[in-house]
Amino acid sequence: MKVVVCVKQIPDPADPGALDPETNTLKRDTKLILDESDSYGVEMALQLVDAAGDGEVHLVSMAANNEVGGLRTALAMGASSATIVSDDALGGSDALGTSKVLAAAIARQEPDLVLAGTESSDGYTGVVPEQVAELMGLPSVTFAKSISIEGGEAKIQRQTEAGYDDVECPLPVVVSVTAGVVEPRYPSFKGIMAAKSKPVDELDLDALGIDAAQVGWAGAGQEIVAVDEAPAREAGEVIEDDGDAHERIVAFLDDLKIL
């Protein structure tokens, strides 16, 4: 079984992001790491390939300058190989532009299953997996909280507003997984060393046969017209609990007349 996992490499969330004042897009000049949201997809893929008895996990990512910092982490977890798509024309790509690139790169792998996180931790549009599926002409199931493969069919528990749905779908299918679906493994030392020599295919738009006018700024079909500081919520009083903080809370609730 061949599983392709979409992997986004993002600036370290511990190092707060900023918008480039010239272009109003996320600054991406810092070192990139594996988006934690995607580590669940990588782990799920590794477990499904294990359960299937044979197969491999291939990663697909889009980033500037053939950045592979985050991909190496996922390779160290156990993925076999990766594709990185980079092209100067990709700057400013929106979700749809990104999906066109990912779909073309994924299709080359002829996967049985495509996994992705439900949304990235930085852009959080949450529409890319479903767009990729539509572009590839595949079915999709989003918000999966568990996946098993039986007899060429995926059995998925999909989170809903009210609870969950049991969903069945023949392969190939695109599935987005929620955080917490599995516990991502830490790369072992052996895994980290092995990752350095795993194959990473570098592609550009020409190689994928994508017209530059469909992606990047040119293809985004939208324009950021304003960036403003949001009105900050003012912090109130902060007290230390020395045994009677609960009385202050009760008094606060009393003042609001909600008790």
| Residue ranges in 199-258 that form contacts with other proteins under rule CB under 8 A | 220-230, 232-233, 235-241, 243, 245-250, 252-253, 256, 258
List the one residue from 179, 192, 212, 218 that touches other proteins (CB under 8 A).
179
CB of residue 64 to other proteins, shortest distance in Å: 19
Q: How far is CA 117 from CA 145, 167, 245, in A?
A: 11, 18, 41
The answer to whether residue 14 forms part of the interface with other proteins (CB under 8 A) is: no
CB of residue 90 to other proteins, shortest distance in Å: 15
Query: Rounded to an integer, what distance in angstroms lies between the CA atom of residue 143 and that of residue 45?
Result: 15
Within 82-101, the residues that bind other proteins by CB under 8 A are: 94-96, 99
Stretch of 1-9, 54-62, 80-88, 155-163 lying at the interface with other proteins (CB under 8 A):
155-163
* Both structure tokens of 177: 């997984």
Query: Rounded to an integer, what distance in angstroms lies between the CA atom of residue 105 and that of residue 94?
Result: 17
List the one residue from 5, 133, 205, 210 that touches other proteins (CB under 8 A).
133
Closest CA to 93 of 21, 26, 35, 164: 26
Any idea what the Cα angle at residue 230 is, between residues 224 and 232, rounded to 5°? 170
CB of residue 25 to other proteins, shortest distance in Å: 10
Query: What's the full length of the chain, in residues?
Result: 259
Closest CA to 45 of 62, 58, 35, 36: 58
Q: Cβ closer to other proteins: 179 or 207?
A: 179
List the one residue from 35, 87, 112, 119 that touches other proteins (CB under 8 A).
119
